[in-house]
Amino acid sequence: MINDAKAGPDRYQRQMAFAPLGYKGQAALSAGRGLVVGVGGLGTWTAELLARAGVGFLRLVDPDKVEEANIHRQGLFDEADAAAGTFKVHAAAGRIRRINRDVTIEASVARLTADNVETLAGDVSVILDGTDNFQTRFVINDYAVKTHRAWVFAGVVGAEAQTMTIVPGRTPCLRCVHDSPAPVCVEPTCRGAGVLGPAVAAIASIEAMEAVKILSGNIEAISPYLLKLDLWTNALQRIDASVAASQVACPCCKGGHFEYLH
């Protein structure tokens, strides 16, 4: 239930006025549980938006400390965090608690792996991708498909961003459109190719919206597309993931092989 005595009667008024959400959807958000894997550019904006929306529980997972080079694109952090070398999850959790006292925040200084994914993700309803590598994403994908858990993939390099919502049994999975991770030496990274803050914030907003749909019980409203945006040229591409999935024998969602969990 929404605790109006704590949150105040006006906090979610504008959200609940949106008919597809309403009071019922807001109550579902309040009971919702999400995991944010990686608290960098994508993870900070996504976590903040979900906290402001009133998602009841968020677990933040990241092994790194705040650096000055993070601040241009990573919300929730400031220069004091960088100067102190604060762990990202601790800085983000502190800020979120000041934003919305009704959200329960759990901070975990860790890197998600096949060994700890069950511990970190076993009690949440949706997993949000804030990572920067496909190896970790494939662990998330295998676990999500195996346990029938929704997750939202997202990534940004330069001004180009992409996102895709995976609901096992309803949509294709990540391995339907990305067969395997690229070798680390050739996978584009923000360090090598650069990254622009507005591109990160834009795709994180879409990622958070997809999570809101899932957690509020409006799963039929999720996007069925792999969405690609180029914020520099303002180009938008929507790829029907089901078409790509129909052309491959996915070893994960079709074959039931979860090699990235071993």
Is residue 253 part of the annotated active site? The answer reads: no
Provide the pLDDT for residue 185. 40
Q: What is the pTM of this model?
A: 0.92
Distances (CA, A) of 108 to 75, 164, 171, 187, 190: 18, 25, 30, 27, 24
Walk me through the domains of the chain, giving residue ranges and CATH numbers: 4-261 (3.40.50.720)
- Segment 148-190, tens digit of pLDDT: 999 999 999 999 999 999 999 999 999 998 876 655 444 555 5
- Segment 230-250, tens digit of pLDDT: 999 999 999 998 887 777 889
Catalytic-role residue among 173, 176, 185, 190: 190
Which one-letter DSSP state was computed for residue 187? S
Query: Which residue stretches of the chain are H helix?
Result: 4-7, 13-16, 22-30, 41-53, 79-84, 88-99, 117-121, 134-147, 174-177, 190-193, 197-215, 241-246
